[in-house]
Amino acid sequence: MDKLVITGNGPLKGEILISGAKNSALKLMVACLLTDEPLVLSRMPNLADTRFLSELLASLGVEVYWPRGENTCHLNAATLKTTIAPYEQVRKMRASFNVLGPLLAREGHATVSLPGGCAIGARPVDLHLQAFEAMGADIVIEEGYVKAAAIRGLKGAEIEFPFPSVGATEHTMLTATLAKGVTTIKNAACEPEIEDLADCLNAMGAKISGAGTSTIEIEGVSKLNGHKHLVMADRIEAGTYAMAVAATGGDVLLRDAPVEGLSAMIESLEKAGVSAMPEESGLRIQRAEGRLKPVDINTAPHPGFPTDLQAQFMALMTTADGESTIRENIFENRFMHVPELSRLGAKIQVKGNEAIVTGVDELKAAPVMATDLRASVSLVIAGLVATGTTTVSRVYHLDRGFERLEEKLEACGGKVIRETE
Ligand code: EPU
């Protein structure tokens, strides 16, 4: 198992190229199941999660051509071998569950394992299943598997979610492209990744309007065609490096950062005293000398502050000049980084979904452990500002969502070395 050895080395300076967005790529890859023509995705992030999904797709019969280290992935679902996705595969990565709707839409039936809970919360899939039932699917849950069938095909439906769910919105949108008639999703999630997916599906021949707003309309078509799509740049990766620069000080251009998707974070960084300036080629983050100001944040569906940047922002606030309140409103258990940040000297008190962070003068190095993807990278940020050498173990969590993290930080002067334990 790998660990990262991080030595505080002062301000970060230079340029970081932002990779393709994991959370967009995973849904775009699944879109290949809706057509018998090739789907080619460029700016594909090389991550444990995307590689894992490519293996699952291959096991369903998709021809996958994606040489190691390359950022273009060719997917061809001309023929499918099976419509069953077993527990061993779905358990490892929740996004695998999204193969259910496209398989159902194309083949009329699918059997996919329930994903189960995960470290950050219970994360049920009830809204996904309700949407498919509304579209005429028969759903049975047996021995941990969802067995879905729509013998006479899916039909358009009006679906209103009780709250915006990114996954349920994307999964319904994917599935409705091949249903008969019009599907309307009300109270849809508005995340930029949903727009990216809709753009790709529309280029494949789907008829989707309103993606990126709370009402999405999908007019079903009988067939989708192949396409070559550029995956959007990762706003969470960009936000994470923005926070690393804000924490250490310095001046870094985040090349290709999707600025429009980062407004809530930019606003919070500016309140903290960090400059986040959009430029033609990306987002420039600069922090001058002096302590950061404390800033309260509330995670919320887009365009609110993203839950996927909450841990990183908390790491930043650990050395601010005063007290900040961080409220997590999306997942019920997303404060696992708190005890680890405390090992580095942070002062944080958790009450329910609220963490009160009292800024300290400095963090001090310690061995810490990664518990989930975003929590692990918050420890890397804290390690970059701590005095001494911090080791972060169990970095396989981090490898699920950050492409060449050590390399990107090292190019800007960060001392981050990967070692095998
Ligand atoms: N929820 C339900 N029922 C459902 C679906 C969701 O109760 O059927 C609940 C969830 O348990 C959660 C809330 O609704 O409390 C929001 O969940 P959502 O469906 O919006 O999240 P998701 O689709 O499961 C995606 C990202 C997450 C990101 C969230 C919120 C992917 C693969 N995952 O998850 O990313 O935090 O949206 O923006 O796109 C990460 O990358 O680290 C990560 C966890």
For residue 128, what is the DSSP state? H
Euclidean distance between CA atoms 137 and 154, whole angstroms:
7
pLDDT reported for residue 262? 97
Q: Which single residue is written with the structure tokens 């990744």? A: 193
The residue count of the chain comes to: 421
| Encoded tokens for 386 | 């701590």
The answer, yes or no, to whether any atom of ligand 1 lies below 6 A from the CB of 308, is yes
Residue bearing the CA closest to ligand 1, atom 11:
123
Mean pLDDT of 396-419: 95
Q: Ligand 1, atom 23: nearest CA belongs to which residue?
A: 167
Structure-model confidence comparison of residues 120 and 141, the more confident one? 141
- What is the predicted pLDDT for the residue at 225? 98
Mean pLDDT of all residues in the chain? 96
Q: How many CB atoms lie within 10 A of CB 167?
A: 20
Q: What integer is the mean pLDDT of 34-52?
A: 97
Task: Tell me if 243 sits within 8 A of 313, measured CB to CB.
Answer: yes
pLDDT of residue 226: 98
Per-residue pLDDT, averaged over 162-186, amounts to 98
Angle made by CA atoms 139, 140, 143, in degrees to the nearest 5: 145
pLDDT single digits (tens) 280-293: 999 999 998 889 99
85-94, 166-175, 249-258, 402-411: segment of lowest average pLDDT: 85-94
Residue nearest to atom 36 of ligand 1 (CA): 308
Q: Is the dihedral of CA 227, 228, 232, 234 positive or negative?
A: positive
> In 10 A of CB 349, how many CB atoms?
12
Amino acid at 336: M
| Residues with catalytic function | 118
**Does the Cβ of 311 fall within 6 Å of ligand 1?**
no
Average pLDDT value for residue range 289-301: 95
pLDDT reported for residue 117? 66
Pocket probe for ligand 1: among 165, 302, 371, the residue whose CB has the most ligand atoms within 8 Å is 165
Q: Report CA dihedral (84, 88, 92, 95) to the nearest 10 degrees.
A: 10
User: Is residue 270 pLDDT above 90, yes or no?
Assistant: yes
Mind listing the pLDDT tens digit for each residue in 108-120? 999 999 987 678 8
| Beta strands 282-287; 250-255: pairing state | antiparallel
With the CA atoms of 150, 153, 159 and 165 taken in that order, what torsion angle do they form, in degrees rounded to the nearest 10? 70
Q: Does residue 398's CB lie within 6 angstroms of at least one atom of ligand 1? A: no
pLDDT of residue 370: 85
Rounded percentage of the chain residues whose pLDDT exceeds 90 = 92
Nearest ligand 1 atom to alpha carbon 120: 44
Ligand 1 atom at minimum distance from 332 CA: 15
For the stretch 80-135, pLDDT in tens is: 999 999 999 888 899 999 999 999 999 999 999 998 767 888 889 999 999 999 99
Say if ligand 1 is within 6 A of residue 331 CB.
yes
Predicted structure pTM score: 0.97
pLDDT of residue 371 exceeding 90, the answer is: no
Ligand 1 close to Cβ of residue 125 (< 6 A): yes
> Residue 63: which of 87, 90, 32, 104 has the closest Cα?
32
Q: Determine the pLDDT at residue 241.
A: 98
pLDDT value, residue 244: 98
Angle at 82 between CA 78 and CA 88, to 5 degrees: 125
Would you give the end-to-end CA distance of the chain in angstroms?
5
Contact 33, 80 (CB under 8 A): yes
| 167 CA to centre of ligand 1 in angstroms | 6
Measuring from atom 7 of ligand 1, which residue has the nearest CA? 124
Model confidence pLDDT, tens digit, residues 332-369: 999 999 999 999 999 999 999 999 999 999 999 999 99
Whether the per-residue pLDDT at 216 is higher than 80: the answer is yes
Give residue 178's pLDDT.
98
Contact 382, 390 (CB under 8 A): yes
